[in-house]
Amino acid sequence: MCGIVGYVGDKNAQDFLVSGLKRLEYRGYDSAGVATFDESGKATLVKTKGKIADLESKLARERREDKAGIGHTRWATHGEPSEVNAHPHQVGDIYLVHNGIIENYKELKDQLKGYEFKSETDSEVLAALIDSFYKNGEYPLTNAVVQALKLVKGTYGIAVMSDKNPDEIVVARAGSPLVIGVGHGETLIASDASALLGHTKQAIYLNDGEIATVSKNSVEIKTLNAEPVSAKVEEIETNLAAIQKDGYEHFLLKEIMEQPESLKETLRGRVNTRDWMVHLGGPGLTEGELRKVKHLVIVGCGTAYHAGLLAAYYIEQFTPEITVEVVIASEYRYRQAYIPRDSVALIVSQSGETADTLACLREIKKQGVPTIGIVNAIGSTIAREVDGGTYVHVGPEISVASTKAFTSQAVAMVMFGLTIAQAKGVRSGILRPYISEIAKLPEEIKRVLDEFNEPMQEMAQKYKDYDHAIYLGRDTAYPTAMEGALKLKEISYIDANAYAFGELKHGPLALVDDRFFEFALLPEGELYDKAVSNVQEVLARGGHVIAVTNKKEFDLPVEDVVKITTSIELMAPILMNLIAQLFAYYIAVGKGYDVDQPRNLAKSVTVE
């Protein structure tokens, strides 16, 4: 999604704006721009289609020592990626950057008589609307912004400046994140705290419906109804090292390889192998409330959804009389779904800002259902709006493709299920195997990554030129196959889809020919033989099968086999997913694609 930065202080604004936008590059974008102002209000507006490097080349010819400004990276929603559609948008004395969607922008545009619009964007309409209330400085900028926002339907995170008031930035949010960095003699604005690192660790997270007027030494927050809001300054919980590549070529490989450590952070203080119990403090549900839970709703998008699907299989295995429903947020938010009594909703999101997931959270809360966040980004909107939660603590996940978050989200949800089972008095003999395997997972993950990193790099060369792929699994290996297919499609653009093995004969088997390869997950267990039969059906039709298994005796005549030796049985799919992550990564690298910022995608989908 779009990135927003702003600066007002004693240092060079252009320098902070560009460095801040670089920190937000991972979110995905197609154009960028900055506007800075000198003390007299003289504005310098520089925009470009393309990357921040292109913006820097243009800025080299427009170097200014201005001390205030705003900047933006745009992920196109209304209007193609272009310089004219790039932000900041200037209308009259108003300069604006915007993240979100103004749903009634056409109606507002029609009412703005006398304005000539240069772009196709909804954001420019918002800038004109503010200008129409600002009336060349007749009204304070903040008041003009408030009047305009009261007419807006949709989502926004905005930063607004005027050349008549160049040492002030007005920021406001409804649905798109904004954080205010409090420095010494400077105030910084960003849509993600990572842009503030190295400048300040003190941050104020703006909430929906709030508007802030910031200058270099002051931050004044109100609601749109002019009620004062006391600014809560929080410590930014991440650090610069966590958002650097540490010698890896891509963030994606770094984040795949750091899963032993990131999972350890997820488990820290939560898994006790002395009493074989799981202790999750965050959900905030009492033993009695946990004991009464009869229905779980797990909500997420993309990888978060897949993590929920995987966790659901495990929770059903060890928790009696509980139903688990896993839903895609963008569908669920519009269904007329009734959530039965004695339900709990798990809201799963790495970024904590996904618009559809946030909307589901708000809908579910209206039904009075307790909501528990399974979130990574500290202080994110979802994390602040759920009733309780379990941060997965994997550190910033920069690459658009989610990897370490998936592993930790799935395990965190299994641990939440275990806390319910413990409260319901499920025998420790049933729970202990899961807890024991969870405790061993970080070491096992490290072993698998160390053993298969190079072999998967080699294997990827054989398959990188295929255009189609089928991922297959049964039971817990099925959501794992779905996640593997998503990884491949989102970074290599190969048309990869996952099917339950048992579904092959109901249609997908017709696809099998030389255009496809099949990535088959075969964990040991009671369904292993059935999966073997399914692979034989594929082989009989000339399929090009890659088998991933922990079965020592595996001996089918497949093209490639990845045999994982591990003491992990129940949670073997978590290890098999690592193979799929490495495979997708090296195929995308082999194809020469932008692995960390794949085309058309954004790290945090803060628009519907």
| CB half-sphere exposure, 140, CA atoms < 13 A | 9
Contact 587, 488 (CB under 8 A): yes
Segment interacting with ligand AGP, rule: CB under 6 A, options 61-69, 78-86, 347-355, 570-578: 347-355
- Smaller CB separation from ligand AGP, 257 or 605: 605
- What is the C-alpha to C-alpha distance for residues 446 and 3, in angstroms, rounded to an integer? 34
Contact 181, 202 (CB under 8 A): yes
| CB half-sphere exposure, 189, CA atoms < 13 A | 36
Sheet (strand 388-391) strand order: 323-328, 295-300, 343-349, 371-375, 388-391
CB of 603 to ligand AGP, least distance (A): 6
Give the three-class secondary structure for 305: helix
Q: How far is CA 427 from CA 327, 422, 437, in A?
A: 29, 8, 17
149 forms part of the interface with ligand AGP (CB under 6 A): no
Which position among 88, 177, 302, 417 is part of the footprint of ligand AGP (CB under 6 A)?
Answer: 302
- Smaller CB separation from ligand AGP, 349 or 566: 349
- Smaller CB separation from ligand AGP, 93 or 596: 596
Query: What does 184-203 look like in DSSP terms, one character per residue?
Result: SS-EEEESSGGGGTTT-SEE
Q: How far is CA 543 from CA 12, 351, 353, 460, in A?
A: 60, 38, 41, 17
Instruction: Say whether 301 is catalytic.
Output: no
Which position among 7, 605, 606, 607 is part of the footprint of ligand AGP (CB under 6 A)?
Answer: 605
- Smaller CB separation from ligand AGP, 400 or 500: 400
Catalytic residue selected from 2, 22, 67, 487: 2
Which position among 121, 351, 390, 419 is part of the footprint of ligand AGP (CB under 6 A)?
Answer: 351
85 forms part of the interface with ligand AGP (CB under 6 A): no
166 forms part of the interface with ligand AGP (CB under 6 A): no
- Smaller CB separation from ligand AGP, 256 or 421: 256
- How far does the chain reach from its first CA to its final CA, in angstroms? 11
400 forms part of the interface with ligand AGP (CB under 6 A): yes
CB of 301 to ligand AGP, least distance (A): 4
CA-closest candidate to residue 494, choices 514, 522, 470, 510: 470
CB of 469 to ligand AGP, least distance (A): 16
CB of 384 to ligand AGP, least distance (A): 15
How many residues bind ligand AGP (CB under 6 A)? The answer is 15
380 forms part of the interface with ligand AGP (CB under 6 A): no
Per-residue binding string, ligand AGP, 467-496, x by CB under 6 A, is -----------------------x------
Per-residue binding string, ligand AGP, 303-322, x by CB under 6 A, is xx------------------
CB of 473 to ligand AGP, least distance (A): 18
562 backbone φψ class: left, alpha, beta (φ>0; ψ -120 to 50):
beta
What does the angle CA 167 – CA 220 – CA 359 come to, to the nearest 5 degrees?
110
CA-closest candidate to residue 548, choices 464, 462, 446, 477: 477
| DSSP β-ladder status, 468-473 and 277-278 | unpaired
Which position among 36, 165, 402, 606 is part of the footprint of ligand AGP (CB under 6 A)?
Answer: 402
Segment interacting with ligand AGP, rule: CB under 6 A, options 159-167, 189-197, 202-210, 395-403: 395-403
Which position among 34, 401, 456, 589 is part of the footprint of ligand AGP (CB under 6 A)?
Answer: 401
**How many CB atoms within 10 Å of residue 588?**
26
* Site for ligand AGP, residues 2 to 61, rule: CB under 6 A: none
- Smaller CB separation from ligand AGP, 402 or 422: 402
**How many CB atoms within 10 Å of residue 246?**
10
CB of 193 to ligand AGP, least distance (A): 15
604 forms part of the interface with ligand AGP (CB under 6 A): yes
Instruction: Say whether 603 is catalytic.
Output: yes
Segment interacting with ligand AGP, rule: CB under 6 A, options 28-36, 76-84, 397-405, 435-443: 397-405
Which position among 43, 86, 130, 301 is part of the footprint of ligand AGP (CB under 6 A)?
Answer: 301
187 forms part of the interface with ligand AGP (CB under 6 A): no
CB of 361 to ligand AGP, least distance (A): 11
- What is the C-alpha to C-alpha distance for residues 430 and 436, in angstroms, rounded to an integer? 11
- What is the C-alpha to C-alpha distance for residues 587 and 581, in angstroms, rounded to an integer? 10
- Smaller CB separation from ligand AGP, 126 or 309: 309
Q: How far is CA 28 from CA 99, 160, 302, 398, 606, in A?
A: 13, 22, 16, 10, 12
Contact 30, 75 (CB under 8 A): yes
CB of 504 to ligand AGP, least distance (A): 25
Which position among 119, 123, 155, 354 is part of the footprint of ligand AGP (CB under 6 A)?
Answer: 354
**Nearest to ligand AGP by Cβ — which residue?**
302
CA-closest candidate to residue 188, choices 116, 236, 121, 246: 236
Backbone angles phi, psi at 341, to 5 degrees: -60, 165
Which position among 213, 259, 350, 549 is part of the footprint of ligand AGP (CB under 6 A)?
Answer: 350
Per-residue binding string, ligand AGP, 233-272, x by CB under 6 A, is ----------------------------------------
CA-closest candidate to residue 476, choices 322, 280, 282, 310: 310
Catalytic residue selected from 22, 49, 487, 603: 603
Question: Which residue's entry shows tokens 């966590």?
Answer: 242
Residues forming the site for ligand AGP (CB under 6 A): 301-304, 349-351, 354, 357, 400-402, 490, 604-605
Provide the annotated active-site residues.
2, 603
